[in-house]
Each structure stands twice: as C-alpha cells, then as structure tokens.
Amino acid sequence: MRKVDWVSIPQILVTADPLFFVLLLVSITVEQLIRAWRWQLILKGHAVPFWESYRGLLLGYFFNNVLPARAGEFIRAGYLGRKGILSSSEAFGSVVLERFADGIVVVCFIFASLVLFPVSPVIRQAGYSAMVFYFLVLIAIIFLQFRKEWMGRVTSFFLGFLPERFRERAVTAQDSFIGGLGLIRDPSRFLLVVVVSFVAWSASVFSYYLALKIFHLPLGLDAAILLIAVLSLGAMIPSSPGMIGIFEYCCMLVLSDMLQVQREVAASFGLFTHFVSYVYILAIGIAILACENLSFHELQSHPR
C-alpha cells in the first residue's frame, strides 16, 4: 500500500456505481446459497436441512473473520454437532473434503492465470506449490479412505500413551472424521460436488467482475479469475483474521502491479470490496447468533 495518495481515496470511493453495488450484494448472496447447497450434498447421507447448512456455513465465515487460524471451520462443524445432526468430527471431515473440492477449482484458476498473464516468479512458484499441496491432500484423503487400517495402526501406537477414556474419545473422533471424507468413495456424487464447486466459484468470479465495474474498470472476467487466484494464494499465508491487510495487498499486486491500474483506484477497490464482504458476513453472522440465541462458548461446548 506504499506510494498511494490517500487523500484521493475518498474522492474515488464516491464515484462507486450504486447499481453494480446492489448487483454485487445479490451475486454474493447467490454464491453463499450455492455453497450451502454443496455442503448439503456432501452430507446427503445425514439429511441436513438446507437452512441448517446455510447457517452453519455463514457462522463459519463469520468466525473466520473474527478469530485467527481459520477457527470458524471448527465452529461450523460444531454447529451441526450441537444440532445433533451428526458428530462434529464427521462434520469437520466434510469441511476438509469441501475445501479439497475448492482446491480443485482454485488450482484450475491458478493454472489459467499462469497461462493468461505474465505473473511474477514469486506468484508462479506459489502457484506450483499450491498445486503440489492439493495433490498431497488428495493422496492423504485416498489413503484415509482406502488404507484405514494402516492409519489405525499408527494412531493406536500414539494413543496408547493416553488414558483409556481419552483414547476412546480420540478413536471415535478419528473414525468420525474419516467418515466425513467418505464422499470420495462415491465418484458420481464427488463429481457432482466438484461441478457445483465450479458453479459456486463462477459466481465468485462474477462478484469480483461486478466489483471491478463498481469502479468503472475496463477489465474482464479473466482479471477477476486472476484476482481470485492471487487472493487464494494469499489466504494460504498466516495472517490476521479475515485476511485484513493481505486482501488489500493482493488486490494492489494484481490491479496495480500486474494490470497497470492506478494505485489509488486499486487501493480503493481493495478497501471497498473487503469492507463490503466483511460487513456482509458480519451482519448475517450476528443475526444468526441472535436468532438462535447462541454464544461462542455454546458452539465450543458441543458434543464431539
């Protein structure tokens, strides 16, 4: 964010197009609804109601924005555990599988960005590293599903040092977590989840495209894909809750350094887009907590 004339930022923000802003909110909402449906598909064997899936998803995003280390993913799983729909460990396993499906799409976006744009060596190396990471995750998921007895031997050795009551709970949680990854055994359903993931991320691409249009930027969907690819790489870097700072830096890197957008406009885009998405999730998360009379402590103390 260096070399930005901050005095001119308010003048740029007031030029934001209100019509595209409204369309952006609609697009974000559609994207979240699609993602909630996808989580419901992953958990199809448990007959999770759609709106429970939606509330759990948004609560996860909410706590990811206010707590470090992506703690919202655990709280999201705990929400379904608290509802008694399934164990929180199995729900967390489904979250891991969902993130892997996201990774397939993100890797495609990264590959497209490497082909379409003259990215820096650092971004290129980060992109290759992300591809290797998701390939290793795939190997791990397959290993857990089809070589479960090997995993059992390894964990039994380490769990043998624990007291009996803790050992039993750990084994139960482990089995439930692996059960949450079970969709990988059903190729047709897993393929459907991947297809829905592409649809959800396409909605995200359209959201960023609309955000670009809010600031009258003559950039297309390919620029939105590049933005998402770099932001996804940025999300892999340990940072403050909600990617505060990292988000704005990635936007500046893409728009100003790579696409030659004026630095003040790029900074305005990053600040505005991040603020809108942050407040959107914050408002819905608070509304869900209030409507269900939930507290952070209650979500932490769910049954495993």
Domain ranges of the chain: 6-299
**Number of Cα atoms under 13 Å in the Cβ half of residue 169:** 8
pLDDT at position 28 is 98
Report whether 77 contacts 96 (CB < 8 A): no
pLDDT in tens, 182-227: 888 899 999 999 999 999 999 999 999 999 999 999 999 999 999 9
Confidence of residue 279 (pLDDT cuts 50, 70, 90): very high
Report the alpha-carbon distance of residue 58 to residue 35 in Å, rounded: 10
User: Whole-number mean pLDDT of the chain?
Assistant: 90
Query: Does position 300 have pLDDT exceeding 70, yes or no?
Result: no
Confidence of residue 147 (pLDDT cuts 50, 70, 90): confident
Query: Does position 280 have pLDDT exceeding 80, yes or no?
Result: yes
pLDDT in tens, 232-253: 999 988 788 899 999 999 999 9
pLDDT in tens, 79-116: 998 888 889 999 999 999 999 999 999 999 999 999 99
Report whether 15 contacts 215 (CB < 8 A): yes
Sequence letter at residue 106: V
pLDDT at position 165 is 66
What single string gives the DSSP state of each residue in 178-244? HHHTGGGG-HHHHHHHHHHHHHHHHHHHHHHHHHHHHTT----HHHHHHHHHHHHHHHTS--SGGGT
Confidence of residue 150 (pLDDT cuts 50, 70, 90): confident
Q: Which token pair is 4?
A: 């930005």
The structure's pTM equals 0.91
pLDDT at position 275 is 97
pLDDT at position 135 is 92
Confidence of residue 180 (pLDDT cuts 50, 70, 90): confident
Cα 249 from chain centroid (whole Å): 18
With a CB cutoff of 8 Å and minimum separation 6, the contacts of 299 are 59, 75, 78, 79, 82
Report whether 223 contacts 24 (CB < 8 A): no
